[in-house]
Amino acid sequence: GWFDAVVVRKAVRVNGVDAIALTKLDVLTGLDTLRICTGYRRGSQVVDDVPALAEELDKVKPVYEDHPGWREPLGAYKRLEELPAAARSYVARLQELCGVPIELVSVGADRAVLAHQLQYEGAFGRLESQVRHRRRRLRPLRILRIEQQKIACRLRSGRRQR
């Protein structure tokens, strides 16, 4: 299904994640609209946390926020600022919803593209400086890797989404 920010936010909280590596952003190219699950509806109530019990998951429906897609191929871009405005906006919204910086964004399948991933330079600084800083404190940097490919494959195969 679509990106579920509620589940990612919980994974960040439970695992003490410091940053997110967003992979395969390029596979979303060509989709007119991208959706992000921002909560769950249970009856008339909207909750912004994952239900505690598995059987409760059957009783909730996702609440989506729609974002415009983009048509430009992303493989040639090396910096986040160079991406199409819709892609930058999507990444910024994911970061806001997840509660931690998205430090790495891959935009292609080639090893060269993955080796030179885009680096987000926000209030949290560059990933390299964070890694050096955290090594001094002897605390490992925890990065959550999120693959966008599953979302795009399901949509292009025509599977129905909730």
Name the average pLDDT for the chain. 75
Q: Are strands 45-47 and 102-105 parallel, antiparallel or unpaired?
A: unpaired
Residue-wise over 41-50: b if at least 16 C-beta within 10 A, else e?
eeeeeeeeeb
Q: Token digits for 126? A: 């560059």
Q: How far apart are CA 92 and CA 100, in angstroms?
A: 11
Q: How far apart are CA 46 and CA 137, in angstroms?
A: 40
What pTM, to 2 d.p., does this model score? 0.73
Q: Can you tell me whether residue 73 is helix, strand or coil?
A: coil
Strand partners for 144:
20
Query: pLDDT tens-digit profile of 120-160?
Result: 444 333 444 444 444 444 344 555 666 655 444 444 444 44
Query: pLDDT tens-digit profile of 86-124?
Result: 999 999 999 999 999 887 788 877 655 542 344 444 433
Cα dihedral across residues 153, 159, 160, 162: positive or negative:
negative
What pLDDT, on the 0 to 100 scale, is given for residue 84?
A: 92
Strand partners for 62:
40
